[in-house]
Amino acid sequence: MAAVAGGGQAGDSVGGGEGELVKPFTPEKAREIIMSLRQPAVFCNMVFDWPALHWNAKCLSKLLCGKQIRFRMGMKKTDTVPQFETMCSYVDATLEEFLAWICGQGVNSAGPFSHYDNSEFWAYADYKYLASVFEDNTDVLQNVAWSDFGFPGRNGRESTLWIGSLGANTPCHLDSYGCNLVFQVQGRKRWHLYPPEDTAFLYPTRIPYEESSVFSKVNVVNPDLKHFPQFLKAQRHMVTLYPGQVLFVPRHWWHYVESIDPITVSINSWIELEEDHQARVEEAITRMLVCAMKAAEDPTNTKAWLNPTEVEGTSHEINCQYLNGAISAYWEHSKVAETLTPTEFKINGEHRVEMPLKKRKVNMHPRMKEKGSPLPKSASGTTKREEKIPFGPDLIPVTPSLQGESSERRTAESDVKDLVKESRGHLGKLNCAEEQPSMNKAETPLADNIVSDCITCPSQAFISTDDLLDCLVNPKVISLVAHLLLQKRTCNF
């Protein structure tokens, strides 16, 4: 077996006989680590026996037998405005046509990529559910085995596929549901990550609207600091993910992802969490407000605000049903709705209602768009200390970049291929980072945590619908509204 970049030799044995392939973590230990981590980290040497490790673009083109998939086409340009999915065009093509285009054979042909010069455009078949991609060949779904990470029964059916060309990227966003495991198959991807406590500095917006995705107004690789000066305070974590590695993205971590090789293939799965029950209430409130206000503004033009991943704008009646369903599901999950009595109400980083018999919400892990295995229980009360996590060559922490560092790759970036050359002693020092004092942003008033686009704009007279929505559906405001709504529901029992 060839060497796995950043993880040593895949043939190294750990606790087994000579030459025996043994994974560094048992499924139980891997799950324990995932449920305890409060920072992104890269798992190495955990997928060397997955058949999906060989799913490069050429292999997938054979497996798909000429099936067309949709590619998002974006411009290779450096702009201060994020290239949202609503700004891109789309083509339906086979992987054979995609590979021919990458090689420069399809630019002048009559194929679907004929209008896109690959020196000026990138292509991204993003967010493709494997269950749909392989609906005629479901046996291959077993080639992805998330059970190795402690989630029995989870495979390709609960996973999504991403195939991109050089420069293909996902705008910076956070996911509302679950935590994320990302398996890199071909090529390299660079991840820019920001912690949940930096949300205000990322200038969150829900336009374009997509359930479970909160976008940033900032182009994090080329920020407009005149309009978004607070972005300088955001703490960037960077990592380059290599084939054979699995990145863990904790709950509510912001991320911008770009392909840095001619062809990249990756597979991910969003792991459902208990916190998702409350997140669904918050998302239902957001959907109702966004749809109501944008539909009232221009009922005929949903393309201007609705992300292409959303099929259509939903009616107020349907949104009301959605909200009530989310609240009912929340209480059904609680099992003790009629006995809950709020004992504490805080407006801070958690703004939660503390209730008897209900576990505290912990700052753990965003996005779950498909139902899967039972929800893992997050650690509560006494979260495991960071130094207990076995960082080393098989588990690399994604560390913060230097203050003021540009978007280009620097020596401070958590490039796993370089980090594994460091001594275990150096990695051990990273484990104690949690002990260092840090500013408690949760203690600042709610208004101070919601940063406007411009600090002082006395001459700006016009306030748009989107400006108002940015305030109304700010994640902190929606969280507060959800707690008030749930409190009201409790008092009505």
Is pLDDT at 304 greater than 50 in this prediction? Answer: yes
What pLDDT is recorded for position 312?
Answer: 73
Lowest mean pLDDT among 54-58, 104-108, 139-143, 412-416: 412-416
316-374 confidence digits (pLDDT tens): 999 999 999 999 899 888 864 444 444 333 333 333 333 322 222 222 233 334 433 44
Q: Note the pTM of the prediction, 2 decimals.
A: 0.80
The overall longest dimension of the chain from CA atoms, in Å, is: 74
Count of Cβ atoms closer than 10 Å to residue 422 Cβ: 13
Q: What secondary structure letter does DSSP report for 35? A: H
Which residues fall within 8 angstroms of residue 14, CB to CB, at 6 or more apart?
Answer: 22, 23, 24
Q: Are 258 and 266 in contact (CB under 8 A)?
A: no
Q: Are 241 and 416 in contact (CB under 8 A)?
A: yes
- What are the φ/ψ torsions at residue 204 (nearest 5 degrees)? -65, 145
Gap between the Cα atoms of 217 and 420, Å rounded: 35
CA nearest to 122, candidates 170, 181, 68: 170
Gap between the Cα atoms of 274 and 177, Å rounded: 10
User: How is the chain split into domains, by residue range?
Assistant: 1-273+367-445, 276-360+452-491
Is pLDDT at 440 greater than 50 in this prediction? Answer: no
Looking at per-residue pLDDT, the higher value among 482 and 311 belongs to 482
- Both tokens of 245, joined, read 């590695």
β-bridge mates for residue 115, sequence order: none
| Class of 1-273+367-445 in CATH | mainly beta
133-187 confidence digits (pLDDT tens): 999 999 999 999 999 999 999 999 999 999 999 999 999 999 999 999 999 999 9
196-219 confidence digits (pLDDT tens): 999 999 999 999 999 999 999 999
